[in-house]
């Protein structure tokens, strides 16, 4: 058993008194020994002897040995007899005969004198996951859960309480037994499956099946069939093959269980791997391999000394399974390994398996893309044959020599001492890379150094390995993994193209080129932003109003804009990531609204002895005319301008906080002070370089997470830096948070990934001829109009017409930074956007002229109106208002002079609206009855002819009387009648809704006046028809004869909550919705124990917030096609999310029963039912 190597510098530490936990642990250990002694027939000790034994137990310490490979403790009685004897190698190359239990712990005789217990650091790290922390200020063992066990340093060797050591040894033994049982179980299952596997002469075929399917049987068949492994026992080969993950998701979870962070997992998924096996602990020398860690390659260090999860010999779901999966999927591009001194042959077998699997995986990937195989870079080395250690013996095995010969690996002999290694290290290396610089290198030193680790790689050897890897990638036919994946996809698409008889068209296919008719029209369209295309329309057979026979048509393409109202609220999720918090001023924090007094910059300036001086030029100026001079104070650097700042060295994994502002407390990183890395990712050790304000420098090393040391205050203010190291362990990730981050990121980059959505607007300018001057004026006007709309013009695209080829046009375009391109001759498809615009204008002009019944010669105005309409719609322009083409308007006739002859004549006449005016801002072009065109601002729209309105009411009355006589009182007929009604009256109060229009039919009460409304007298048949429809619906749905005196016909989308206070006491309102059934209904507040609503559809409780913020409980009833009665004195409202609907409501105003006798006759003819409550008066 080797002894521990002691470092020359020993940290100072004090012996901590035993805690209650340690005391109880010691007592438990002594009681266990007493129980064993009593079981063997001995007598029980007294209390005095027990106290003495406890003190002796507390005084005993165990050695924490970094060089020991197995624990050492004293055995119990029965355990000593059952343990087997083994030969143990101790310090000085000596061999001792000792006993070892089934868990691998070395035992000393129970009858022998007490020997010191030894706790191996390697077992604590690899099996239990502990970490040894040895600094100038403390020496401790840190458990995986963060708990620390203090160690005492005696003569340069760390020691721990023996009871604690025995407890840790027990945990190591328990974990080892579990690992052995699991390993035996896996080996047993593998042997059962291996018994059914027979060898095959073509082992490459089995290896290819293993790469494709990932089954244990195929991998084991390939191993036992390899010619160099035929003499190796099957028991050794059965542990090399295993079932591989079948999907990338399984491999992702495997990487996650091994401790790889998310960034590393993504790199392993998409890049080639260069694996460094057994490279030792992480050091600064790892930066030498940084050139290999490029955009297409990732360097992966696999060593037990870096992490307990990186044990290549671990069975089951471990790092070896991940390496095999990477090799089978073609990800492993290079393997570099230094054989360890323990279990060298087993390590070598696993390395050979990874290399052969990687070669087949790379070969299979190259076959998919039909390129030569690039192979796998392999470099393995161990001690030279003269060293006669385990690694040298493993490399001299017969199967290794045969494998080296059959795979064409070159053999190199050199000494790493000549390449910068502290030891001489004679080395035997096999490789297929071009690294001949290593051949024959000798160490010319007389004596090697006494320090250094056997597992360290020589610095110059690492540089040569990096150079060899660069040469390996420069070989012809080598492609990175990402390029190979793209080529494989392209090959599959070609196979599908040929199998589908060269469909669809591929521009790079020779058969498609020969059989095609030309370039597709859709491929000729230019999709650039801010491009204006132009073409000439005409000649038109019918000249325009000004003799125009041609028109210059323009199409302009720009990025599509998202239009929204100015006062539209912004959603909360769209504000995520934006800091909208306003910085609070000092006055606001203290609650004082007054503005702080401005600090005088001259307040601290010393003016003693200051005398203002006057220059020579001012010597003749009188004293009373000299203006006072403003003094500029000396600029003094203040601590208030200094700020602490962060420095993140990502490559080195170090985070530094620079302290510019003096402070006393040590710094603790948190999210509140702007730590750029999550505090959970930082190691506990904090190194603080202290620069005291009064002078002096000190380095403080402490635990920043400790309750006392985390924010401990120093006696004097200080500045300097605080350094933290990034932990390689992965912080647990919340899948929901990651998913939300992914969605936000996709939303942010969505506009960058997707193609830009283009929008097109059209413009047209009629001209008399196709001359270059007319075309140039049209182009200049189009560019100017786009500039007024806020759009730049980057390029003008036209055909090869002579009107667009003038030198003056070209010079003007260059002066305005507009590039001119032209289409291909005799190929109109290359100007497809403008050609499409010409067709669009022709179609729109035909439609507008036909609908407006206007002469064809006004085609120029129809095209301009169509272009203006499209521009208004695409850009959201609302002013000036565009009327429908050909709509009837009234314009003012302009007549002057003639001795006031026309003063009493009508100044307004009717005309047809033909579009916007180009010369008068906000004006319109109107076609008068005399066929003259007038451009004016004095137009009136929506003018109603009273006689025509009267005829409209008569038509409505005839339809209502017809349906009444036919007995058509269903809801469809009622809706048909109401659609003929023109409702123009608005409500007198906004409580009924701002957009609510209505007609009141029946009785009215206004103060002391009572009678029938004007609308009811003008529409008696409509009133009679609606009364009958509502009466029949009330009888059908409510089973009662309703009574009312007035019917209101409302057209509304939403009526806010209100009360009908001016209703007859004790009366009920009846309401029904006619037309399309909406998703809303009638809402009525709940009364105080009384019924407030009956009838209608299903009753749903609903609380509604009032304008004053008060929430009122109520019920929502569906009244679509159903009659309902409710108490008008309670709050009620009409709710609907859809467009406006017809609502019929029957009410009873107060005192409406007391009317004149002549009015009672009118109401009876109208069918108004009062329930026998009419009371006439003369």
Q: What is the pLDDT of residue 1057?
A: 83
Same domain, 822 and 721: no
Same domain, 333 and 352: yes
Q: What is the pTM of this model?
A: 0.42
With a CB cutoff of 8 Å and minimum separation 6, the contacts of 933 are 545, 914, 925, 926, 927
Rounded distance, CA 422 to CA 543, Å?
A: 100
SS3 161: strand
197 found inside a domain: no
Same domain, 359 and 392: yes
Same domain, 980 and 1124: yes
Nearest to 1024 by CA among 1166, 1161, 1162, 1163: 1166
Domain ranges, residue 1153: 951-1177
Long-range contacts of 620-627 (CB under 8 A, 24+ apart): none
Residue whose token pair is 């307990």: 308
Rounded distance, CA 170 to CA 293, Å?
A: 42
1061 found inside a domain: yes
Nearest to 669 by CA among 705, 713, 699: 705
Residue whose token pair is 């020969």: 514
Give the domain CATH number at 307: 3.40.50
SS3 316: coil
253 found inside a domain: yes
Last residue of a domain, one of 851, 875, 907: 851
Same domain, 31 and 77: yes
Nearest to 142 by CA among 160, 123, 126, 129: 129
Last residue of a domain, one of 154, 180, 206: 180
Same domain, 957 and 1087: yes
Tokens in use for 1164? 């009876």
Please compute Rg for the chain using Cα positions: 48
423 found inside a domain: yes
864 found inside a domain: no
Q: List average pLDDT for each run of 10 residues in the chain, which is 1178 residues long.
A: 36 41 59 60 60 61 78 78 75 70 79 76 76 80 81 81 82 79 71 62 84 88 88 85 90 90 89 91 88 86 86 87 93 92 89 93 82 88 82 90 92 92 91 92 88 85 93 80 62 70 72 60 59 93 93 93 57 50 40 40 44 42 41 45 84 88 89 81 88 87 78 87 80 66 73 76 94 94 93 94 93 94 88 92 91 91 94 88 90 68 73 92 90 89 62 80 86 84 55 66 81 86 88 87 85 78 83 73 81 83 80 85 87 73 85 70 74 56
Same domain, 770 and 720: no
Q: What is the pLDDT of residue 621?
A: 37
Same domain, 136 and 268: no
Same domain, 818 and 680: no
Last residue of a domain, one of 851, 876, 891: 851
Q: What is the pLDDT of residue 979?
A: 80
Residues composing the chain: 1178
Q: What is the pLDDT of residue 458?
A: 92
Same domain, 508 and 529: no
Q: What is the pLDDT of residue 1131?
A: 86
Q: What is the pLDDT of residue 798?
A: 95
Q: What is the pLDDT of residue 192?
A: 62
Same domain, 390 and 510: no
25 found inside a domain: yes
Return the axis-axis angle of helices 1020-1038 and 971-979, rounded to nearest 10°.
Answer: 150
628 found inside a domain: no
Long-range contacts of 425-429 (CB under 8 A, 24+ apart): 425/383, 425/454, 425/458, 426/383, 426/384, 426/386, 426/387, 427/381, 427/382, 427/383, 427/384, 428/381, 428/382, 428/383, 428/384, 428/385, 428/392, 428/395, 429/379, 429/380, 429/381
Rounded distance, CA 333 to CA 1097, Å?
A: 73
In order, the DSSP letters of 376-431 are -EEEEEEE-GGG-SHHHHHHTSHHHHHHHHHTT-EEEEEEGGGGT-SS--EEEEEE
Q: Please, what is the Cα angle at 381 between 379 and 387, to 5 degrees? A: 170
Residue 174 pairs in a beta bridge with none
Which regions of 850-996 does DSSP assign to beta strands (E)?
A: 888-892, 908-916, 924-928, 933-936, 939-940
Is 1114 within 8 Å of 1091 (Cβ atoms)?
Answer: no
Same domain, 497 and 475: no
- What one-character DSSP code corresponds to residue 986? B
Nearest to 1074 by CA among 981, 1160, 994: 981
Q: What is the pLDDT of residue 527?
A: 65
Q: What is the pLDDT of residue 574?
A: 54
Rounded distance, CA 304 to CA 278, Å?
A: 8
198 found inside a domain: no
Tally Cβ neighbours within 10 Å of residue 276: 23
Number of domains in the chain: 6
Q: What is the pLDDT of residue 201?
A: 66
């Amino acid at each position: 058993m080797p002894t521990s190597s002691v470092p020359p510098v020993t940290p100072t530490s004090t012996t901590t008194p035993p805690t209650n936990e340690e005391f109880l642990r010691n007592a438990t250990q002594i009681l266990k020994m007493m129980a064993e002694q009593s079981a063997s027939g001995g007598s029980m000790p007294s209390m005095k002897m027990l106290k003495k034994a406890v003190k002796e137990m507390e005084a005993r310490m165990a050695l924490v040995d970094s060089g020991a490979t197995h624990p050492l403790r004293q055995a119990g009685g029965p355990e000593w007899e059952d343990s087997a004897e083994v030969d143990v190698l101790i310090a000085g190359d000596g061999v001792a005969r000792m006993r070892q239990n089934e868990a691998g712990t070395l035992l000393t005789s129970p009858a022998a004198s007490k020997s010191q217990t030894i706790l191996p650091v390697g077992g604590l790290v690899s099996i239990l996951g502990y970490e040894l922390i040895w600094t100038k200020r403390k020496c401790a063992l840190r458990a995986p859960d963060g708990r620390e066990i203090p160690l005492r340093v005696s003569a340069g060797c760390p020691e721990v309480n023996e009871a604690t050591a025995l407890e840790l040894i027990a945990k190591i033994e328990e974990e080892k037994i579990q690992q052995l049982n699991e390993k035996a179980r896996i080996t047993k299952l593998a042997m059962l499956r291996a018994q059914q596997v027979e060898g095959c002469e073509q082992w490459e075929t089995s290896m290819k099946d293993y790469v494709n399917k990932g089954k244990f049987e195929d991998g084991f068949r390939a191993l036992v069939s390899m010619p160099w492994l035929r003499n190796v026992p099957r028991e050794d080969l059965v542990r090399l093959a295993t079932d591989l993950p079948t999907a990338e998701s399984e491999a992702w979870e495997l990487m996650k269980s091994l401790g790889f962070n998310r960034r590393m997992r993504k790199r392993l998924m998409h890049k080639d791997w260069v694996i460094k096996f057994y490279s030792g602990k992480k050091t600064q020398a790892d930066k030498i391999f940084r050139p290999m860690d490029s955009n297409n390659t990732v360097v992966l260090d696999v060593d037990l000394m870096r992490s307990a999860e990186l044990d290549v010999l671990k069975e089951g779901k471990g790092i070896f399974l991940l390496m095999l999966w990477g090799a089978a999927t073609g990800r492993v591009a290079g393997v570099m390994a230094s054989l360890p001194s323990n279990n060298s042959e087993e390590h070598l077998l696993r390395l050979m398996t990874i290399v052969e699997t990687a070669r087949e995986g790379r070969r299979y990937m190259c076959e998919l893309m039909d390129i030569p195989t690039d192979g796998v870079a392999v470099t393995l080395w161990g001690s030279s044959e003269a060293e006669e250690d385990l690694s040298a013996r493993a490399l001299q095995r017969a199967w290794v020599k045969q494998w080296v010969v059959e795979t064409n690996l070159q053999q190199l002999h050199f000494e790493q001492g000549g390449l910068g290694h502290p030891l001489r290290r004679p080395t035997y290396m096999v490789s297929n890379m071009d690294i001949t610089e290593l051949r024959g290198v000798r160490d010319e030193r007389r004596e090697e150094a006494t320090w250094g680790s056997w597992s360290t790689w020589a610095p110059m050897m690492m540089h040569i390995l990096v150079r060899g890897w660069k040469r390996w990638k420069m070989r012809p036919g080598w492609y990175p993994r990402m390029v190979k994946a793209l080529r494989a996809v392209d090959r599959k698409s070609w196979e599908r193209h040929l199998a589908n008889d060269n469909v669809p068209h591929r521009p790079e296919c020779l058969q498609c080129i020969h059989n095609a008719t030309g370039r597709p029209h859709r491929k000729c369209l230019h999709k650039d932003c801010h491009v204006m295309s132009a073409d000439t329309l005409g000649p038109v057979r019918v000249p325009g109003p000004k003799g125009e026979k041609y028109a210059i048509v323009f199409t302009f393409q720009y990025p599509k804009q998202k239009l929204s109202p100015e006062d539209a609220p912004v959603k909360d999720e769209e504000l995520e990531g934006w800091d909208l918090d306003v910085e609070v001023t000092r006055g606001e924090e203290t609650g004082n609204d007054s503005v702080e007094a401005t600090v005088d910059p001259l307040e601290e300036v010393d003016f003693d002895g200051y005398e203002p001086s006057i220059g020579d030029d001012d010597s003749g100026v009188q004293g009373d005319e000299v203006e006072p001079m403003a003094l500029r104070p000396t600029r003094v650097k203040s601590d208030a301008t200094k700020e602490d700042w962060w420095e993140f060295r990502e490559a080195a994994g170090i985070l530094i906080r620079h302290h510019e502002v003096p402070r006393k407390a040590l710094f603790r990183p948190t999210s509140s002070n702007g730590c750029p890395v999550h505090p959970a990712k930082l190691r506990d050790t904090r190194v603080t370089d202290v620069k005291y304000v009064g002078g002096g420098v000190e380095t403080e090393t402490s635990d920043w997470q400790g309750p006392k040391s985390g924010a401990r205050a120093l006696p004097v203010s200080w500045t300097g830096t605080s350094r933290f190291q990034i932990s390689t362990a992965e912080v647990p990730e919340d899948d929901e948070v990651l998913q939300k981050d992914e969605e936000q990121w996709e939303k942010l980059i969505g506009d960058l990934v997707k193609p830009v959505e283009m929008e097109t607007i059209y413009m047209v300018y009629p001209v008399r001829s196709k001359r270059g001057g007319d075309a140039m004026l049209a182009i200049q006007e189009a560019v100017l109009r786009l500039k007024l709309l806020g759009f730049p013009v980057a390029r003008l695209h036209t055909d090869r017409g002579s009107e667009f080829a003038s030198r003056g046009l070209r010079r003007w375009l260059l002066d305005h930074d507009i590039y001119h391109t032209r289409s291909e001759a005799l190929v109109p498809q290359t100007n497809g956007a403008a050609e499409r615009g010409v067709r669009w204008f022709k179609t729109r002009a035909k439609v507008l002229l036909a609908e407006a019944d206007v002469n064809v010669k006004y085609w120029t105005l129809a095209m301009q109106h169509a272009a203006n309409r499209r521009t208004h719609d695409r850009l959201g322009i609302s002013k000036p208002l565009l009327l429908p083409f050909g709509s009837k308007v009234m314009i003012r006739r302009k007549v002057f002079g003639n001795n006031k002859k026309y003063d009493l004549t009508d100044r307004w006449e009717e005309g047809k609206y033909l579009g916007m005016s180009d010369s008068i801002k906000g004006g319109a072009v109107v076609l008068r009855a005399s066929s003259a065109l007038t451009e004016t601002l004095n137009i009136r729209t929506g003018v109603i002819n009273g006689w025509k309105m009267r005829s409209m009411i008569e038509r409505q009355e005839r339809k209502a009387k017809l349906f009444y006589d036919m007995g058509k009182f269903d809801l469809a007929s009622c809706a048909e009648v109401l659609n003929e009604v023109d409702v123009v009256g608005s409500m007198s109060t906004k409580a009924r809704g701002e957009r609510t229009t209505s007609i009141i039919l029946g009785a009215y009460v206004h103060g002391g006046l009572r009678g029938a409304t004007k609308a009811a007298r003008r529409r008696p048949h409509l009133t009679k028809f609606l009364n009958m429809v509502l009466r029949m619906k009330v009888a059908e749905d409510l089973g009662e004869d309703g009574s009312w005196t007035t019917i209101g016909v409302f057209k509304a989308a939403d009526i806010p909550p209100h009360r009908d206070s001016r209703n007859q006491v004790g009366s009920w309102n009846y309401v029904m919705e006619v037309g399309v059934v909406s998703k809303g209904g009638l809402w009525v507040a709940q009364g105080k124990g009384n019924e407030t609503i009956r009838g209608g559809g299903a009753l749903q409780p609903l609380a509604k917030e009032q304008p004053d913020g008060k929430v009122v409980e109520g019920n929502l009833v569906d009244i679509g096609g159903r009659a309902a009665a409710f108490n008008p004195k309670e709050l009620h409202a009409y709710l609907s999310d859809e467009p406006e609907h017809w609502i019929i409501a029957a009410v009873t105003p107060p005192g409406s029963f007391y009317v004149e006798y002549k009015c009672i006759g009118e109401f009876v003819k109208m069918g108004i039912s009062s329930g026998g409550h009419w009371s006439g008066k003369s």
